[in-house]
Amino acid sequence: MLGGLKSRYYHRKGSSNNMTKKTDLLIVASELKLKVTDQNTIAEIEKAIADAKIEVTEKPIAEIVEADIKLAKSGKRSEKAIKEVVEKIAKEERKEKGDTTPQSEEAEAHSKKGPKPVTRPVLARRGKGYRKAAALVDNATVYSLADALELAVKTSPSKFDASVEIHVRLGVDPKQADQNVRATVSLPGGTGKTIRVAVFAPESDHAAAKKAGADVIGDEDFLKQLDREEINFDVLIATPKFMPRLGKYARLLGPKGLMPNPKSGSVTADVAKAVSEAKAGKVEYRVDKQGIVHLSVGKVSFGAKKLEENARAFFESLRAQKPSGFKGIYVKSTSICATQGPGIKVENVIA
């Protein structure tokens, strides 16, 4: 009987016999002459094998294996193969227990010893300007929108005119098509940035686009610029009839977020209106893979009052984009910060 079990032991999981874990452990336990039976649990058998690992390493395998089992010179029945299996089980047991101590004198000699490295807190690793600004923010306080914007202006550590950003974590699942929030909003106070607008439209629309303030206008000449990968614009507006001609440039424009899209209003027959809105401060926002919407609502130089007007326009637009069939908490949290500045928790403006 034992001889039969021994022969089955050498055809472990993955072979045609498809032995279970418990049977494998019982075979190893019998080779180690441990007092365990199939009535014991897997955990008890593994513990007994782990406790016997000292004997395994100190005694030759030939003395551990019963006399009626003849060792082969090579293969799975060899002394080396049996020892490797037993040591592997002992190693897995140590790994489960989190035991990382060296198992040999040579390994212990090569193990690194020394004082445990000290990891400084995140705030301590920041710059002096950031730490000074962060001291003005109480992380335990949830500020009103007006107070948060005033604080964002005060806590900007940058020497340049930094942007003021709003980050809203939504409860939607962006992987669902009906919950992929994406829209545009016209900020009353503008964005504080000089927007370069390009128009790809028929020659009949060129004059109206130029009057509205377009920076780049063209048809065939514009396509030649794209062939040379010359991108000297921030927004691209195209007419519906001209959109198919931009298909071959999708790999160039898409990753940069410049491909015209009807949802963002950049594909339209009224080119002049689209140019005027883009110049005035019309921006696009969309939820990312983590379910967060990020948007810059202006510059620090705008002041808190002008920033609040832009922020409320954004929140009204975001409220209107709530999926009709969505159930649950739409807005989970909101925070505001200046570029390179500390985050400020804000009361949820959208219920």
pLDDT at 32: 74
pLDDT at 345: 93
**pLDDT reading at 293 higher than 70:** yes
The residue written with tokens 């009987």 in the block is 1
Residue type, 38: D
pLDDT at 337: 92
Q: Evaluate whether residue 116 is within a structural domain.
A: no
| Same domain membership, residue 10 and residue 60 | yes
pLDDT at 276: 87
Please give the structure tokens belonging to residue 248: 């071959």
pLDDT at 31: 72
Please give the structure tokens belonging to residue 139: 């992380």
DSSP codes joined into one string, 140-190: T--B-HHHHHHHHHHT---SS--EEEEEEEESS-TTSGGG--EEEEE-TT-
Across-strand partners of 337? 165
| Same domain membership, residue 148 and residue 178 | yes
pLDDT at 13: 40
Neighbour tally for 66: CB within 10 Å:
11
What are the backbone angles phi and psi of residue 334, rounded to the nearest 5°?
-135, 140
Q: Evaluate whether residue 133 is within a structural domain.
A: yes
pLDDT at 191: 83
What are the backbone angles phi and psi of residue 236, rounded to the nearest 5°?
-115, 125
DSSP codes joined into one string, 290-336: TSEEEEEEEEGGG-HHHHHHHHHHHHHHHHHTS-TT--S-SEEEEEE
Q: In terms of C-beta density within 10 A (0-12 exposed, 13-18 middle, 19 or more buried), how is residue 5 classed?
A: middle
pLDDT at 114: 66
> In angstroms, rounded to a whole number, what is the distance separating the alpha carbons of residues 222 and 233?
12
Decide which of 110, 135, 152 is a domain's last residue: 110
211 to each of 89, 189, 205, 224, 277, how far by Cα in Å? Answer: 79, 22, 10, 24, 13
Torsion, Cα 327 331 333 337, to 10 degrees, reads 160
| Same domain membership, residue 286 and residue 276 | no
pLDDT band at 157 (very low <50, low <70, confident <90, very high): confident
70 vs 210, higher pLDDT: 210
**pLDDT reading at 335 higher than 90:** yes
| Same domain membership, residue 100 and residue 245 | no
Q: Evaluate whether residue 117 is within a structural domain.
A: no
pLDDT band at 164 (very low <50, low <70, confident <90, very high): very high
| Same domain membership, residue 98 and residue 51 | yes
Across 144-150, average pLDDT: 92
Question: What CATH number corresponds to the domain at position 153?
Answer: 3.30.190.20
Percent of residues, the chain, with pLDDT higher than 90? 17
Decide which of 238, 264, 280 is a domain's last residue: 280
| Residue from 74, 267, 117 nearest 184 by CA | 267
| Same domain membership, residue 145 and residue 12 | no
| Same domain membership, residue 289 and residue 275 | no
> In angstroms, rounded to a whole number, what is the distance separating the alpha carbons of residues 25 and 46?
7
pLDDT band at 310 (very low <50, low <70, confident <90, very high): very high
| Residue from 142, 158, 133 nearest 333 by CA | 142
| Same domain membership, residue 207 and residue 237 | yes
The residue written with tokens 């107070």 in the block is 147
> In angstroms, rounded to a whole number, what is the distance separating the alpha carbons of residues 216 and 196?
8
| Same domain membership, residue 320 and residue 200 | no
pLDDT at 122: 78
Residue type, 279: K
pLDDT band at 5 (very low <50, low <70, confident <90, very high): very low
Across 193-215, average pLDDT: 88
Neighbour tally for 18: CB within 10 Å:
9
| Same domain membership, residue 213 and residue 187 | no
**pLDDT reading at 16 higher than 50:** no
21 vs 56, higher pLDDT: 21
20 vs 262, higher pLDDT: 262
**pLDDT reading at 72 higher than 70:** no
pLDDT digits (tens, 9 = 90+) for 269-281: 888 888 888 888 7
Question: What CATH number corresponds to the domain at position 222?
Answer: 3.40.50.790
Q: Evaluate whether residue 139 is within a structural domain.
A: yes
pLDDT at 18: 37
pTM of the model: 0.59
pLDDT digits (tens, 9 = 90+) for 84-133: 877 787 788 777 777 766 666 555 555 556 677 778 777 777 788 888 88
What end-to-end distance do the CA atoms of the chain give, in Å?
73
The total domain count for the chain is 3
Percent of residues, the chain, with pLDDT higher than 70? 82
Q: Evaluate whether residue 115 is within a structural domain.
A: no
| Same domain membership, residue 200 and residue 187 | no
> In angstroms, rounded to a whole number, what is the distance separating the alpha carbons of residues 32 and 82?
11
| Residue from 92, 103, 89, 95 nearest 29 by CA | 89
| Same domain membership, residue 187 and residue 314 | yes
Domain span at 183? 122-191+282-351
Please give the structure tokens belonging to residue 218: 């063209």
Decide which of 251, 280, 309 is a domain's last residue: 280
Q: Evaluate whether residue 231 is within a structural domain.
A: yes
pLDDT at 145: 92
Q: Where are the beta strands (DSSP E) in the chain?
A: 163-170, 182-186, 197-200, 216-218, 235-238, 282-286, 292-299, 331-338, 344-346
**pLDDT reading at 2 higher than 60:** no
